[in-house]
Structure 1
Amino acid sequence: MRKKDRTSHFRFNKQERSGMFFLLALIVLLQVGYFYLKVYPAQVEQFIVIDTDLQEKMETLKSVKDTLNFYPFNPNFINDYKGYALGMSVDEIDRLHDYRAQGKYGNTTFHFQQVTEIGDSLLNKISPFFKFPEWTKEKATSSPLAKMNKEVASNFNKAIPVGDLNSVSSEELKIVRGIGDKLSVRIIKFQDRLGGFLEEDQLYHVYGLEKEAAGRVLAKFVLLSKPQITKINVNSASSDELA
């Protein structure tokens, strides 16, 4: 009896043998498939057919955002789609909607930025399309705070005379809003490499200097003196001379 029990573990009936055969066959097929994919990946890619029409439609939808034409609008009434088309994030749109749900309105571009926490670059891009009601403009310009800011700005402009862009120092540049230690040094280095600015527009080529900040610099410093330029013959100039 014990001998029979001991040998029964090594005996299989017809059904068990068939199951083992199919299991081994499945393992072999998986190994062959893995080997084929590893050795001939290019041939496998040929079986993948790209739907070019669908791909073109997807690319068109992606480019719709950049081709939309915007007209003047009140930013207080930006909906989800309008905000997405303008390039605003979901959080920025939600902040505006939460603010409007309280029955409040933003009447200036600065106020809109405070509410939405939108970045300066995007704000400068979309703010030209903002159209606030006329009464809000009159209220903003006639308020005591607006008058005080106007007087402070006027006194500030009088206190800082216009200087020469080619002789300005980095410390003088830092009095301009938006110009810090790095940008002031970078402007001076750019000026040295040129040997002096020939045109005011060259200031806009300084790396990292935004147009708005460059405009504020040019409001305080202009070209009062230009460097003496010695022309060279391009056909006979060496690489060092051209550099």
Structure 2
Amino acid sequence: MNIFKPHFWYNKSQRNGVFLLAISITIFQVVIVFVNFSPEENVNLESPRNLAFHKQIDCLKVLSIKNKRSKIYPFNPNYITDYKGAQLGMSLDEIDRLLIFRKAGKFVNSKKEFQKVTTISDSLLNKISPYFKFPDWITKRNQNTNSPTSINNSFYSKKPKHKLSTTDINKATLEDLKTISGIGEKLSERIIKYRSKLQGFSIENQLYEVWGLEKEIADRVGAIFKITKLPNIQKKNVNTVTFRELLKNPYIDYELCKMIFEYRDEVAELQEISELKKISGFPLNLYDRIVLYLVAE
């Protein structure tokens, strides 16, 4: 016992302090356990004032979402998707009309053209057309539509500095082609490259086959440049031409080339070039172009 006695030896004032501390801890614990600190009155969530407050918050949320959705940024109407069209308030039929028009390689270049293609209402057109963003050259052309000189200058983005060296499409240079509104360095190079591939334009609407050349721009080219003289195309004898040589025909792919050779083996020799039409699956719509490069001898 003498071992523990020094640890419990206190004077009178220390014992009183320990006693008061123990009482204080006991009282504190009793208060925590038995005293209810929650408010006596519960908040009434269904009170008119509380309901009005929450209704106002809900209205603000809806207004915020609506404003966010209705915000429209400038866009090119030629590239409207199903999702974008639905956001603008267009019907599926109206969107489909535009998509079909675009699949044909055509473009709308004004709000009137857009309405003509999609048949949207005047009210919707007035709502969304301020956000239409066309290429700069289209915008400039549309601004000059009503000017007295617009008809005379309709084929040029501005008065050409370059004097045309020819109006023959098969002799036109890069600089000649660049005088046409909408044609720059790339397109003019592409036209000349395709012309070389064809060995010259023989049919007027061959120009519409140039990749990336819009119909409207091709129309401008055709209004200025014509086929003055047919090109001298080196034709191949369909009965002796090799497979590789036949594939160089700009309108013949591998499958068609194979069909022609199979037919040639079957008949031994084509007496007339028109016999190509007898081949099963032959693209009749390309016949006039294909025979520009072939002859039966």
Higher relative contact order at CA 8 Å, sep ≥6: structure 1 or structure 2?
A: 1
TM-score for both structures, normalised by structure 1: 0.42
Larger fraction in helix: 1
TM-score for both structures, normalised by structure 2: 0.35
